[in-house]
Amino acid sequence: MNKKYEFRLILLFAFLSLLTTKTQAQSAITEISGTTSDLTASDTYTANGATGSNLANNSYTYKYGAASGFNDNQFSLNSFEADGMGYRYEGIPVEVYFRRVDNSTVSGTRDLLFYFGQLSSSTFKLKAPYEPLMESAFVGNSNMMRGSDNLFSNAMDGNGNNNNIERLDVVVSAGITLVSAEGQGYALLERGGANQHDSFVTAVILSVDGSGTPTSYSDVVRVGSSEYGTTNPIANQPSVVLRRDGSIEPLKTSTTLGNQGIGGVMFKFSDFGLTDGQTIYGYSVAAADFPSSGSGANMLDYTNTTYFPTNTNGTTQGAGGIDMIALTGIVREISISGNVFNDITGLTNNLVDGDPLAAIEGNDLYVNLVDELGKVVQSVAVEADGSFGFDAVPLGDLSLQLSILEGTPGNNAPAINLIPEWAYVSDMAGTGAVAENNDGMISFFVGSENIDGLNFGVQKRPTAEIETLAAQQNPGGNVFVSVPAGAFGGEDFDGGTVDAIRISSYPIGADQIKINGISYDFLSFPAEGITIPANVNGEPQQTIEIDPAEGDVSVIINYYSIDNAGSESAIPGSVTVPFTSGPIIIVNNYPATGYGTLAYEDLWPSKGDYDFNDMVIDYRFVITTNNNNMVSQLDGTFILKAFGASYENGFGFQLSESIDANDLTVTGYELSSDVVTLSGNGTEAGQSKPTIIVFDNAYEQMAYPGTGIGVNTTPGATYVQPDTLKIKIIFPENQYSFNDLDIANFNPFIFVNLDRAVEVHLPNYAPTDLADLSLLGQYEDASNPGAGIYYKTANNLPWAINIYESFEYPIEKQEIIWAHLKFAEWATSGGVLFPNWYQNLSGYRNESLIYQVPTN
């Protein structure tokens, strides 16, 4: 044959080989899940090793099943994973035939099996129960703790582990019509070390005769060692090879083996070119020396030594050395499925139910199958009838996520999103009727079974209305105004109803809100809002009242409608209640808590007796400002309570230099002794700062009662009713601010014994322009104007004090520190200790030294 023809012949063979034999369509099995159990069945016998083996001359005890002492006697396949997909064992009954052809080594029937187990002190301890007949051991999913050894080996095994089997037929005589050629198939598992598994060929039986003998085959698929993958899904363990001939004697050991695991290969029927709707009758397995040129038709005659040589080599990884695990039968991909419902009842009925749903308002719904790492495995669109399904899913922990976003396999899962107007209301994991969640995600574990009933419930959210009421007069103060229920409203869809509203946040512009009789302010309003039952129109069934803030203000109540499934409206509704008021007048008081007190010693610049009762005046200012915080009026109330002095003293005060006295109009003063000169506007003349003289002679305000020193300081002396004077100061419009007024730093003073030039001020407050400055620093006074020090002694004692609250003054000649017992600590601590020393608290006073107003 010339080279040209030889080359063409090679091409022809190669082409025919492609037509008849496929390789690498199958997938390595990467994970096996099964059930391991501890059996009670056991068998024990005594026998020598197998004839022709090295163990033939030794006697051994054989213990099987429970007698072995192992507790993993039974291992049945539940499911496995290949090419990232899970398959489960279908349990369809099969018949197993070992097709034999006598050869020069083996004739008749030889049962050649291995059992996982080991030799221990002349005892073979074998995990699986005793089953000597290969046909029985290999039927179905009986026990994977055993299998064949050198299944198709005819010669050359050093321990005599050869056989005369040329083909293994796994027959389903009734036939199986393929529903999914892509999802149905079979697996072949083999004992061996990783990367050391044995080769073989296999084909699908397309027809059988009345005896279950195949009459036609599919294409043949060849499997090499590499098709098992690189790791064994079942870990290594020792095993023992046993055999018997003629089906009469018990199995006897021929070889003990070291640690080997289980690997496997999965075949889909589509790998053989089969399609949905075809009927198959099982599959056959043969030695790897079945020629590459052999077709399915050549698989029929296992006696044809061209295709089934009778000298098949059984050495390690030889053509016939497959150590097939005793597992036969059909497997099918694991599927999961569920439905999507428009569930208007949500979790309230513990069911995921309602009308089927495939899209929401034009947006298709997708179910994304997501693995433990958050990666999308598969993504499917929900069918028009609301159903969805995944026909091949991996084993393990998975989740389904319902979204309007379609996932891309291998990528991170997209967000679990619906359009804002729709909500997840119920999810159900697995079969059963209990709705478990409402987050659009179902988590589950894929083991050996299909999972149905992975259902999602979604629904359209209700809406909430936006309403603005007519403006009304602001009642002012702490007055509540009812908000009509009809101002609120909502609508639900698809048969659902609005059940409630939730006021989601504290209303804007309200000092208080009262719901069903319970008042809340900004701080006490619950962070989660307040839910109120509503009628089907979304009108609250409890009273809602608001106390508006002062002025022109709109109170805005934000709320959500809630439907019977518990879904809230996507967008909050609101009720706006506008309030109007007249011109804004703001009133402040100083002191805010009530009257304060000014208490003086009048012997300045000589020190006094520190009873601080030479002049005692309660005072309080009312400051009126407008909406620009500009002062329009200052009203001062002064109550002359006592004066423990023989001097005829006057009283006045000075305001901030920020204010021009000429801008003011003052009324309410009482002058009687002709020692004060006023300007036309009521302020004192000759002053650079606005100065108001309230009265000029205390004795003209409160008559001397005839006994005691002065008025209302000597116990037992006749009590004289205090004299109240009200000073009104009108300010020009929008000229002086609250800060300009600086009322807390007003400068009150007395002037002594009708001498306008002798003034006594609070410590560090300067005298007025009319004071005799030459008196500063005389006697005990240690004023130092250059340092801003006024009216203090050398040891920092004052001649006057200003108390924020009304002061109960000492009786005559009793020092303040004796009457007010915390005063000394307050003073010596620089005001840190007992800042409330003047209050009537336990231990704060010696009441016997405090002037008591007679009760009769």
Partner 1 sequence: MRKYHLFFLLLIVLVSACKKDRDQPAEIIPQGMDELVVPADFDWKTTHAYTFELSSAREGIVSIESADGVVYFKGMISQATDLSVEISLPAYLNKVKIKQLGRIFEVELNQAIITASF
Where does this chain bind partner 1 (CB under 8 A)? 506-512, 521-523, 549-553, 555, 584, 586-593, 607, 610, 625, 627-629, 738-739, 742, 744-745, 762-764, 795-798, 801-805, 815-817, 824, 827-828, 830-831, 835-836, 838
CB of 591 or CB of 722, closer to partner 1: 591
CB of 327 or CB of 827, closer to partner 1: 827
Q: In whole angstroms, how close is the CB of 751 to partner 1 at the nearest point?
A: 20
Q: In whole angstroms, how close is the CB of 795 to partner 1 at the nearest point?
A: 7
Q: Which helix (H) or strand (E) holds 281?
A: strand 279-286
Q: In whole angstroms, how close is the CB of 517 to partner 1 at the nearest point?
A: 19
Residues 6 or more apart in contact with residue 387 via CB below 8 angstroms: 337, 338, 339, 340, 356
> Which has the closest alpha carbon to 223: 188, 262, 181, 273?
188
Q: In whole angstroms, how close is the CB of 749 to partner 1 at the nearest point?
A: 15
325 within 8 A of 262, measured Cβ to Cβ: yes
Question: Kindly report the CA angle at 19 between 17 and 22, in degrees rounded to 5?
Answer: 75
CB of 75 or CB of 595, closer to partner 1: 595
CB of 259 or CB of 778, closer to partner 1: 778
Q: How far apart are CA 510 and CA 557, in angstroms?
A: 9
The helix/strand/coil state of 483 is: coil
CB of 302 or CB of 595, closer to partner 1: 595
Q: In whole angstroms, how close is the CB of 598 to partner 1 at the nearest point?
A: 11
Q: How far apart are CA 35 and CA 119, in angstroms?
A: 25
CB of 1 or CB of 592, closer to partner 1: 592
138 within 8 A of 131, measured Cβ to Cβ: no
Q: In whole angstroms, how close is the CB of 720 to partner 1 at the nearest point?
A: 27
CB of 547 or CB of 648, closer to partner 1: 547
Query: In a 10 Å sphere around its CB, with 0-12 CB exposed, 13-18 middle and 19+ buried, how is residue 607 labelled?
Result: middle
CB of 71 or CB of 629, closer to partner 1: 629
CB of 555 or CB of 661, closer to partner 1: 555
Q: In whole angstroms, how close is the CB of 796 to partner 1 at the nearest point?
A: 4
CB of 212 or CB of 551, closer to partner 1: 551
CB of 667 or CB of 745, closer to partner 1: 745
Strands (E), 664-772: 665-667, 691-695, 723-730, 747-751, 759-761
Q: In whole angstroms, how close is the CB of 599 to partner 1 at the nearest point?
A: 11
Q: How far apart are CA 792 and CA 777, in angstroms?
A: 9
632 within 8 A of 626, measured Cβ to Cβ: yes
CA Rg, the chain, in Å?
53
CB of 67 or CB of 762, closer to partner 1: 762
What are phi and psi for residue 77, nearest 5 degrees? -75, 130
CB of 695 or CB of 765, closer to partner 1: 765
> Which has the closest alpha carbon to 154: 296, 305, 51?
305
CB of 658 or CB of 667, closer to partner 1: 658
Q: How far apart are CA 251 and CA 821, in angstroms?
A: 111
221 within 8 A of 23, measured Cβ to Cβ: yes
CB of 508 or CB of 678, closer to partner 1: 508
Chain mean position to CA 357? 28
Q: How far apart are CA 8 and CA 544, in angstroms?
A: 97
Q: In whole angstroms, how close is the CB of 363 to partner 1 at the nearest point?
A: 37
- Write out 123-161 in H/E/C secondary structure: EEEECCCCCCCHHHHCCCCCCCCEEECCCCCCECCCCCC
CB of 527 or CB of 592, closer to partner 1: 592
Residues 6 or more apart in contact with residue 88 via CB below 8 angstroms: 78, 79, 331, 332, 333, 334, 448, 449, 450
Q: In whole angstroms, how close is the CB of 642 to partner 1 at the nearest point?
A: 19
C-alpha distances in Å from residue 645, one per residue of 113, 720, 799: 128, 15, 14
Q: In whole angstroms, how close is the CB of 831 to partner 1 at the nearest point?
A: 6
Q: How far apart are CA 843 and CA 108, in angstroms?
A: 119
Token pair of 588, please?
Answer: 């402040």
- Residues in a beta bridge with 850: 810
- Residues in a beta bridge with 807: none
C-alpha distances in Å from residue 743, one per residue of 70, 590, 659, 729, 769: 97, 7, 12, 13, 20
Q: How many residues does the structure list for the chain?
A: 856
CB of 755 or CB of 815, closer to partner 1: 815
Q: Which helix (H) or strand (E) holds 342?
A: strand 336-342
- Residues in a beta bridge with 615: 600
- Residues in a beta bridge with 810: 850
- Please spell the DSSP secondary structure of 760-804, one letter per residue: EESTTPPP-TTS-GGGTTSTTB--BGGGTB-SBBTT--BSEEEES
